[in-house]
Amino acid sequence: MPPPAAGAVLLLADLHLPPGPSSLRERFIAFLRGPAADAQSVYILGDLFEYWIGDDVGLEVYAAECAALLDCTRSGTRIGFMHGNRDFLVGERFAAATGVALLGEPRHLHFGGVATLLSHGDRYCEDDVAYQRWRRFARNRVAQAGFVALPRRLRERIAGGLRHRSADAQRGKPEQITDVSTAAIERELERHGCTRMIHGHTHRPAEHALAGGRERIVLADWRPRRCEYLRLTGADWERRLVGGPAAK
């Protein structure tokens, strides 16, 4: 996916669209037909789906969303997708069916002259040692190939069990462990020569001032009554709601 052209750039993450009927799914399609259709570029920074157990299943379960994504990219909006911790199995069949570009992480771009890094964010939760161990295993190509070769029902059962165990584990961890490491973010910005990081994952939307005049912007997770995205125009940005005014 080439660098964004002049015009509005939209970023969002952590929609966690469920496999069944949901207002979240309806809002996402409304987003693609509304704000996204009028934007130059859209960046989805992971966890678009609650889980994705392979392109063979996901393209069927989320057929309406995939069709809306294809309509949006065909209309001229460039859409990039970055893997999250729930949908790291999104693959080339999805990209071909939707016209969406699969992005590496972190992604170094310039928005309005501001050198910016994009990330899902989970890689910077360095204090959560158990999670980082799981992340390395889940991103292993051999492990992924073995999983998607399993029967669909078995994959669904495994994914459901992992979600429940993850939720239980998160409840038992101190908040600072499940958040990103400020030191890790600052190291990454320094390494890439960037002054701004935009990420999701933590479900803690906020703006953080960092050393050296740098900043970290955390995207909001989607909820039935609040579906938020970030809109960049040049060097300026604001939080907006799908079907509503600017977020506060």
Annotation: binding site for Mn(2+):
14, 16, 47, 85, 120, 201, 203
Rounded CA-CA distance 11/198 in Å is: 9
Residue 79 confidence (pLDDT) above 80: yes
Length of the chain: 248
Residue-wise pLDDT tens digits, 214-230: 999 999 999 999 999 99
Rounded CA-CA distance 192/96 in Å is: 30
pLDDT for position 5: 57
Domains present along the chain, CATH in parentheses? 9-241 (3.60.21.10)
Q: pLDDT band at 166, cuts 50/70/90?
A: confident
pTM for the whole structure: 0.93
pLDDT for position 6: 61
Annotation: binding site for substrate:
85-86, 128, 166, 170, 173, 201
Q: Span 103-108, mean pLDDT?
A: 96
- Contact by Cβ (8 Å): 201, 121: yes
Q: Let me know if 136 is exposed, middle or buried by CB neighbors in 10 A (0-12, 13-18, 19+).
A: exposed
Q: Span 104-114, mean pLDDT?
A: 94
Q: pLDDT band at 3, cuts 50/70/90?
A: low
Annotation: binding site:
14, 16, 47, 85-86, 120, 128, 166, 170, 173, 201, 203
pLDDT for position 10: 98
Q: What does the chain look like in DSSP terms, one character per residue?
A: -PPP-SS-EEEE----B-SS--HHHHHHHHHHHTTGGGSSEEEE-S--BS----HHHHHHHTHHHHHHHHHHHHTT-EEEEE--SS-TT--HHHHHHH-PEEE-SSEEEEETTEEEEEE-SGGG-TT-HHHHHHHHHHT-HHHHHHHHTS-HHHHHHHHHHHHHHHHHHHHTS-HHHHSPPHHHHHHHHHHHT-SEEEE-SSS--EEEE-GGG-EEEEPPPPBTTB-EEEEEETTEEEEEETTSSB--
Residue 172 confidence (pLDDT) above 80: no
Q: Span 8-26, mean pLDDT?
A: 96
